Amino acid sequence: MKVPALITIATLMAGCSSMTQKISMDDPIPAENGLVAMSAYCKSPQVQTMAVSSELKTMSPEQLVRCGKPLGINFGGIKMFSLPAGEYYIIGQGGMFATTYFAYEVTVEPGKINYLGYAEAVNKAVVKEYTDSRGRERTDVVRQLTVSVTDRYEEDLKALKEEYPDYPWNYEVVMSIPEKAYDIPK
Whether residue 94 is contained in a domain is answered as: yes
Q: 100-131, pLDDT tens digit by residue?
A: 989 999 999 999 999 999 999 888 888 989 99
3-state secondary structure the chain: CCHHHHHHHHHHHHHHHCCCCCCCCCCCCCCCEEEEEEEEEEECCCCCEEEEECCCCCCCCCEEEECCCHHHCCCCEEEEEEEECEEEEEEEEECCCCEEEEEEEEEECCCCEEEEEEEEEEEEEEEEEEECCCCCEEEEEEEEEEEEEECCHHHHHHHHHHHCCCCCCCCCEEECCCCCCCCCCC
Whether residue 136 is contained in a domain is answered as: no
Whether residue 128 is contained in a domain is answered as: no
Whether residue 96 is contained in a domain is answered as: yes
**Whole-prediction pTM:** 0.75
Per the structure, how many domains does the chain have?
1
The pLDDT-based confidence of 45 (bands split at 50, 70, 90) is confident
Domain range for 103 is 3-117+153-175
Q: 158-178, pLDDT tens digit by residue?
A: 888 888 787 767 788 899 999
CATH value at residue 66? 2.60.40
Q: What is the pLDDT of residue 96?
A: 75
Whether residue 66 is contained in a domain is answered as: yes
Whether residue 133 is contained in a domain is answered as: no
Q: 21-34, pLDDT tens digit by residue?
A: 445 555 677 789 99
Whether residue 43 is contained in a domain is answered as: yes
Whether residue 140 is contained in a domain is answered as: no
Q: What is the pLDDT of residue 72?
A: 65
Tell whether the model's pLDDT for residue 47 goes beyond 70: yes
Q: 127-155, pLDDT tens digit by residue?
A: 989 999 999 999 998 888 889 999 999 99
